[in-house]
A and B are shown apart, each in its own frame.
Chain A
Amino acid sequence: MEQNYNHPEWHKPENLVYKRTDLLVDRPLSYCPGCGHGTVHRMLMEVIDELGAQDKTIGVSPVGCSVLAYDFMNIDMLGAAHGRAPALATAIKRLWPERFVFTYQGDGDLAAIGTAETIHACNRGENITIIFINNGIYGMTGGQMAPTTLEGMKTATCPYGRDVATMGYPLRITDLIVHLPGVNYVTRQSVHTPVNARRTKKAIRHAFDIQSQKKGLSFIEVVSNCNSGWKMSAVQANKWMEENMFPYYPLGDMKVDGVIVEPKSGTVKE
């Protein structure tokens, strides 16, 4: 049957099942098809929209694939130097305590060059939200080894696979952050299925509520794919992520209201 997408019935408010939030700018994303960034952007902007906080939010974007996040998020934003987003966010929140302040960072930005800024912002218990996209690779620069690259995983700078004896171990930085007393909420999520995307959105909402209540830092790791960097199709990449990334980076809440909890799904491969 031929469908008429311009049929007036389709545009009645009661038949509306999805609408792009106005907080996402209407322009093509710069991300590869299949990448998780776009979904996380949407979850984040939907939360801010639902809170009615467009005028009360200041975001900080990183250097990496999401360097241009400010082009897609219809809120005031600052682009940080590589790794320094938590330093910017610290000062912004201290000087604008009634604004929601978040950073959006990748694994190279947050867990390699920006490790010091990450750890110390967390340790000071800055009342900000850090959203950390972990896809185990440097996407923007062309697929080099990241601090989170799994053992044996091949990248442009470890073409024979990550050899932990010479290249170090994949860094579970979120597991370190859990132990810092200034951190109120830590969770590890994904966006590769609708149910996981909804859980991520719920986590972001919780993180923003924590900011309102001035309870300390909230940290959300999103384990994501990089089908281009991993040289897989989007479907293959999501399957590979489930089979390889989730065992090492198990999903679930890790700290709630200042209390450390065991992740429910997945087991840690030692």
Chain B
Amino acid sequence: MGELRLMKGNEAIAESVIRAGCDGYFGYPITPQSEIMEYLMAEKPFERTGMVVLQAESETASINMIYGAAGTGKMVVTSSSSPGISLMQEGISYLAGAELPALIVNAVRGGPGLGTIQPSQADYFQACKGGGHGDYHMIVMAPASVQEMADLVKVCFDLAFKYRTPVMMLSDGAIGQMMEKVVLPDPIPRRTDEELIRQCPWAATGKQKDRDHIIITSLDLDPAGQEKVNLKLQEKYRQIEENEVRCESIMTDDADYHFVAFGLSARICQKSVDLARAKGIKVGLFRPISLFPFPKKEMNEIGKKSKGILVVEMNAGQMIEDVRLSIDSHVKIEHYGRFGGIIPSPDEVVRALEQKVIGG
């Protein structure tokens, strides 16, 4: 049994990163996630585990520090918020192209542009559909509580190394800032360099006599070679879609209607389910935890038995596209969204269900 603490979501991520045996954090301050680096600097993991923590000169630099470290097989993480993540897109594309493992935490805030520092879910498309240039995906995990943030850190690192791919934890300002009790994972020691060299034979760690020199790159000037790279990536994404789906169904068994929501919106919809049921409306909540891979089969099953679905997001309608692509029945699917840092109340979500789905 792990250690019980009262923590902010951002702090829980930082502590879990140290406990996962992470080798390095590289980041740049931006609201609403600066507590991650602040916690790490104060906690001095370089004394606890030898983990390196470095404040970079920009998000561009921090994602490329991640690229460099990941290319040598080290377990590394960066964190930022929407505008900073936009700056990182080139580096994330390089990570995907060179097949390097990394964890990127995005505490999404309202946009576009400098937008606001308040929570939002407007970066679903950017996170799930590539974001940077070229045909690639990240694995994207969306926590809905401080506990889930802590738990997903290790999951994300494991997936990053299993598939050699960048993984994003898509959180937002609210979950990152809210304080909840959290059971922290037990610490895992960092890998020694010898263990790393054994476990990551693909990594550039210094040329050994018994192998060729290793080149970490996303460049292949030969179109036939580059197509092979792409086919390999697509096969990897197919395997991820086959094996790594995570989702949660809350009171969906007897439900007539369904909310579909991720992250903070799902947290709100949980309350909306209670409010609606108190009014006699049988509603359930379907919550994708992995946004890529999207839980297509599970979503389709919900669609088959549902009388109507309300997709609730803090954006203009992004995940709803994946919901619609997943469902092959003719169930009514509507969207309710708030933008710019406005968090919907559980009441207004129930009203939206009544007006748009049940009454509409």
Interface residues of A (CB under 8 A from B): 25, 54-58, 60, 67-68, 70-71, 73-81, 84, 87-92, 94-96, 99, 116-117, 120
Q: Tell me, yes or no, whether B247 is within 8 Å of chain A by CB.
A: no
Q: Besides A55-B206, A57-B207, A87-B61, 19 other CB < 8 A contacts?
A: A25-B213, A57-B206, A70-B213, A75-B207, A76-B204, A76-B207, A77-B204, A78-B217, A79-B215, A80-B68, A81-B67, A88-B71, A90-B54, A90-B68, A91-B66, A91-B68, A116-B61, A117-B60, A117-B61
Contact of A58 among B23, B94, B98, B204 (CB under 8 A): B204
Name the distance in Å between B51's Cβ and chain A's nearest Cβ: 10
Q: How far is the CA of A25 from the CA of B208 in the complex (A)?
A: 15
CB contact under 8 A between A95 and B213, given known A55-B206, A81-B94, A84-B91: no
Are A96 and B68 in contact, with the CB atoms below 8 A? Answer: no
Interface residues of B (CB under 8 A from A): 23-24, 26, 52, 54, 56-58, 60-62, 64-69, 71-72, 74, 76, 90-91, 94, 98, 193, 204-209, 213-219
Are A87 and B56 in contact, with the CB atoms below 8 A? Answer: yes
Contact of B204 among A25, A68, A74, A78 (CB under 8 A): A78
CB contact under 8 A between A88 and B67, given known A57-B206, A58-B206: yes
Chain A residues within an 8 Å CB radius of B207: 54-55, 57, 74-76
Contact of B209 among A55, A75, A96 (CB under 8 A): A55
Least CB separation from B90: chain A residue: A81
Least CB separation from A94: chain B residue: B52
Are A99 and B58 in contact, with the CB atoms below 8 A? Answer: no
Contact of A74 among B71, B98, B213, B218 (CB under 8 A): B213
Contact of A88 among B23, B24, B58, B64 (CB under 8 A): B64
Are B74 and A95 in contact, with the CB atoms below 8 A? Answer: yes
Query: When A and B form their complex, what is the total count of cross-chain residue pairs whose Cβ atoms lie within 8 Å?
Result: 125
Interface pairs (7), CB distance under 8 Å: A70-B213, A76-B213, A79-B216, A89-B68, A91-B52, A94-B52, A95-B52
Contact of A77 among B26, B54, B215 (CB under 8 A): B215
Least CB separation from B56: chain A residue: A87
Chain B residues within an 8 Å CB radius of A57: 206-207
Are B64 and A77 in contact, with the CB atoms below 8 A? Answer: no
Q: How far is the CA of A57 from the CA of B214 in the complex (A)?
A: 12
Chain B residues within an 8 Å CB radius of A88: 64-65, 67-68, 71
Q: How far is the CA of A71 from the CA of B216 in the complex (A)?
A: 11
Most buried by A among B58, B213, B219: B213
Chain A residues within an 8 Å CB radius of B56: 87, 120
Q: How far is the CA of A58 from the CA of B206 in the complex (A)?
A: 6
Chain B residues within an 8 Å CB radius of A99: 206
Name the distance in Å between B310's Cβ and chain A's nearest Cβ: 42
Contact of A56 among B26, B72, B76, B206 (CB under 8 A): B206
Name the distance in Å between A178's Cβ and chain B's nearest Cβ: 19
Are A84 and B60 in contact, with the CB atoms below 8 A? Answer: yes
Are B72 and A58 in contact, with the CB atoms below 8 A? Answer: yes
Are A91 and B65 in contact, with the CB atoms below 8 A? Answer: yes
Most buried by A among B61, B90, B209: B61
Chain A residues within an 8 Å CB radius of B26: 91
Q: How far is the CA of A78 from the CA of B65 in the complex (A)?
A: 12
Name the distance in Å between B29's Cβ and chain A's nearest Cβ: 15
Chain A residues within an 8 Å CB radius of B64: 80-81, 84, 87-88, 117
Are A91 and B69 in contact, with the CB atoms below 8 A? Answer: yes
Q: How far is the CA of A67 from the CA of B52 in the complex (A)?
A: 29
Are A76 and B205 in contact, with the CB atoms below 8 A? Answer: yes
Most buried by A among B64, B67, B208: B64
Chain B residues within an 8 Å CB radius of A77: 204, 213-216
Q: How far is the CA of A67 from the CA of B217 in the complex (A)?
A: 10
Q: How far is the CA of A54 from the CA of B61 in the complex (A)?
A: 27
